[in-house]
Every structure is written in structure tokens, then in C-alpha cells.
Amino acid sequence: MSGDVLEEVPGLYGNLRLREKVLQRIWNESAFLTQDLKTDCGQSLSIKQSGEWNLAREGPDFRAATIFLDGVEQEGDVEVHFYPKDWNMHGHQSDPNYNQVILHVCLYPSQTDGLAPSTLKGRAIPQLTLLPFLTQGLEQYCEEFALASLHGTRDPLVSFVPSTNLTQNIIKYSQQRWCEKLKFAKFRLKNLGWDQACHQWFLEVLGYPRNRRNMHQLASLHPLPEWGKLDVDRTYDLVGDWKIRGVRPLNRPLHRLHQYQELMRTSPSWTNSLKSLNLPKECLLEEESVGSLSVSTYRKDIKVNLLGNIFSDSKTNTLVVDCLLPLWAAYHEEDPFALWYYWPSGDFPARLVMLAKKWELKAQGKAVENGVMQGLLQHFLLDHTMIRHQG
């Protein structure tokens, strides 16, 4: 391990500065598609134990990992880098501390047909290129990890103070996040089609942030038409590795899966209903308000008529701002940013909501609007976590 390396890498929405610890955490939490893994040299790979995360400064990133290569069990260490060339650039090929490494994990593939990394003793090390197995953009991983820390028992906001121009930046940050979600919606529609994009993203939001990967896996394994008759309990048990510690019963993934099946049984064509919603198309933020946009009317229509009154107000709001409205806008090639901004905020960490109220960031009414919370979250991400866009 050579410290927490910071690298400028291409993201879904442009270049960003990313800490290597983000990649390490993706590996540590198996936050990628773990089925049908292949090393760069074509060996089948399965992961039994990711290893013990080495947060010290010396030696490989993960100790005592257990993997299977072409069915043969291997025990040893794992090293994580952005690029294959980093192995030699960091001097690992001549460092005896790396003699027990059994797998080199890289975000990006090699740009050359060079040799595989090797130890001081000359043993070649299998290499896994992680990028094809990621389930979301790097920005989304950073956001997911940041939200998890905000929801955790530790308080990362103790030293978080507002910048002098925070109020002026809230709209700018919020619009940036809306544009990111809209681009991601277009990306999904292009690659998955309307029904599967709706199905996959809806389930992911129901599992967000701690069980999003498992929800993604279920959406991929069981397409939309299967959910009306799917044995949810059995399917849930087969996936395993659900994170429910500290999660309230109503937010647990099994409960959310049953809610989704209820939606599929009562409104099997909900994706078509979403497509047909008559929402404001082009609306400018400075010319609109909560009242002029009739936000409460649209909110009731979606909660009751589209989603069958199955989900709570907060979860409905989250589904709208993180999934339904970006997909609708991407499909119709419209930009209802003002509606998204003035929509009531959904499931944000309580401490972040408290900060918004403390700093009097709410724009209208008693509730904190989604746009205000999105802007505040972006401020937190840019200034206090592991991601920073360039240019």
C-alpha cells in the first residue's frame, strides 16, 4: 500500500479526482458483479474472502484473501490500483512484502500487451480488470459511500462548516446533480430499453444505499414480467449477503421487495403509466414556484395513481427524484429541472436535513425542497469526501 493515491480519471459525466480508497472499498464490499468473473488472461475467478483491509501504510491493500482460479483455491494478498502499470510504478515487483499477492485488481485495462505483474521471485500474478463488472458510474459509488457514512453512527459533519458562497452555490450544485441524473437516465435507456431501465433503477432506489447491488442483481436475474408471480422470500434467500443491521423493519430489503411485487400485481403496466404522465416539460427555476408548478397535485397523482399508495411519502419522493422523473425526462427529451428542484426532499440523512434547516437553506414553505438538499449534498461531496470534478 502506498498511501491514499489520488488520481484524475474519466467518469460518466467528465473527469474527476478519485481516491484509491474508493476502489479498495468497492473490492472490500464486493460492490460489483461477482458472477462470471474472468481474469485478463481468461481464468475463471470467484471470490470466497475479499481479505482483511490493510489500512496501514505498508504492504498489500488486502491480507489473507481466498479466491478460486479455474476452480483451484488460492490464499494470499490482493493489491488494488487504478492502472496495471501502477504495479511497477510503485515498485511492487521488487518489494518482498508483495510476494504473497495472488491477485492484482485494476480499475482500467492495460493499454499495452505487456507482461502480467510479477513478484520479486518472478511469479506472474493474475489480474482482474474491474471496470466491466461495475454496476454504476464512479460518481454514484462515491455518493453511495458518502451517504452510508452520513447514515452511520459516526458524525462526519462535526467539522462541516458552510462556505461563504454556499447559498449562491446551492442552485448550481443542484443543477449539476440533476444533469448527472438525466445523463445517467439516458445512458440506461440506451443500454437497457424503457421497461428494464425502469425496473432496474426502481429496485436499486428501493435498496439504496446499502443493498443497491443486490437489488441490481435481482433486477438483472428476474426481468419485469416475472415479478407478479415471483417467490420473493425464496429469491431473497438465494441472493444472501443482505445488509440489515441497524435498518428499520420498514426499510429492510425483504419488505421493499414485497412492496415492489405488490406494485407489479396491482399496476403491472406501471412503466407505461410513467411514460404517459403529463408533467411540466420545459420549466425555468427562476420563473416557477411550488405553487405555480402544482407540485402537490403531481405528487399525489404519482403516489396514489401510479404507485398505488404502496410507499410512504418519503420513499415516494425518493423514487421520484432519483429514478422516475429523470427517466421520464430522458425518454421525452425534456428538462423539468424546476419541478425536480421544488419537489419535496426524500430520504436524506437526518443530520444533513438538520444542517439545511440550521443554515436556513429552505427556499419555500416548511419543507426542505429536494433541490436544496441535492445542492447541500453535492457541497458535502465536493468539499469533504473523495470526489472532485475537474473543469
Over residues 53-91, the pLDDT tens digits come to: 998 778 999 999 999 999 999 999 999 999 999 999 999
**Same domain? 220 vs 273:** yes
The pLDDT score that the predictor gives to residue 292 is: 84
Q: What is the pLDDT of residues 76-135, one digit of tens each?
A: 999 999 999 999 999 999 999 999 999 999 999 887 765 679 999 999 999 999 998 887
146 and 56 assigned to the same domain: no
40 & 149 share domain: no
pLDDT of residue 13: 47
Given a cut of 80, whether residue 179 has pLDDT beyond it is: yes
Of the two residues 241 and 329, the one the predictor is more confident about is: 329
Q: Are residues 155 and 102 in the same domain?
A: no
**pLDDT over 50 (residue 158):** no
Q: What is the average per-residue pLDDT within 167-172?
A: 82
The reply to whether 125 and 187 lie within a common domain is no
Find the helix or strand (DSSP H, E) in which 81 lies. strand 72-81
Q: Do 121 and 244 fall into the same domain? A: no
Instruction: Identify whether 255 is part of a domain.
Output: yes
> What pLDDT, on a 0 to 100 scale, did the predictor assign at position 32?
87
Q: Is 146 helix (H, G, I), strand (E, B) or coil?
A: helix
- Using CA atoms, how far apart are residues 389 and 370, in angstroms rounded to an integer? 22
Nearest to 115 by CA among 93, 99, 95: 93
Instruction: Indicate if 306 and 379 belong to the same structural domain.
Output: yes
What pLDDT was estimated at residue 391? 36
Is-cis flag, bond preceding 209, omega within 30?
yes
What residues contact 290, with CB distance under 8 A and at least 6 apart?
Answer: 296, 342, 364, 365, 369
Contacts of residue 342, Cβ cutoff 8 Å, sequence gap at least 6:
288, 289, 290, 293, 295, 363, 364, 369, 370, 371
Q: Which three cell numbers stand for residue 45?
A: 475467478
Residues with Cβ within 8 Å of residue 165, at least 6 apart in sequence: none
Q: What is the pLDDT of residue 388?
A: 43
Q: What is the sign, positive or negative, of the torsion defined by CA atoms of 311, 352, 197, 234? A: negative
Neighbour order of strands in the sheet with 6-11: 6-11, 14-19, 387-389
**pLDDT for the residue numbered 389:** 41
Q: What is the pLDDT of residue 156?
A: 47
CB 93 within 8 A of CB 87: yes
pTM of the entire predicted model: 0.74
User: Looking at per-residue confidence, does 191 or 272 come out higher?
Assistant: 272
Residue 314 in domain: yes
Q: Calculate mean pLDDT across residues 38-53.
A: 94
Of 347 and 322, more confident: 322
Among 87, 112, 133, the domain-final residue is: 133
> Is 1 within the bounds of a domain?
no
Claim to verify: residue 53 and residue 183 sit in the same structural domain: no
Specify the number of domains making up the chain: 2
Q: In the numeric block, which cell numbers belong to residue 313?
A: 411519502
At residue 210, the pLDDT reads: 79
Same domain? For 38 and 173 the reply is no
Q: What is the DSSP string of 257-288?
A: HHHHHHHHHH-TTHHHHHHT-----S--GGG-
Is the pLDDT higher at 339 or at 286? 339
Residue 104 falls within a domain, yes or no?
yes
> Same domain, yes or no, for 67 and 121?
yes
pLDDT at residue 148 above 80?
no
What integer pLDDT is reported at residue 10 of this predicted model? 56
Q: Which range has the worst mean pLDDT, 5-19, 62-76, 330-344?
A: 5-19
Residue 16 is given by DSSP the state: E
Average pLDDT score over residue span 330-352: 90
Residue 32 included in any domain: yes
Mean pLDDT, the chain, integer = 85
Question: Do residue 229 and residue 319 come from a single domain?
Answer: yes
- The Cα 204–Cα 319 span in angstroms is 10
342 vs 106: CA distance, rounded Å? 41
Structural domain ending residue among the three candidates 63, 98, 133: 133
Contact 115, 359 (CB under 8 A): no
Residue 109 lies in a domain: yes
Q: Which of 117, 133, 149 is the last residue of a domain?
A: 133
254 occurs within a structural domain: yes
- Is position 14 within any domain? yes
Q: Residue 373 pLDDT more than 70?
A: yes
Q: Are 330 and 190 members of one domain? A: yes
Query: What is d(CA 345, CA 340) in angstroms, rounded to the nearest whole number?
Result: 10
pLDDT of residue 217: 85
Domain of 70? 6-133
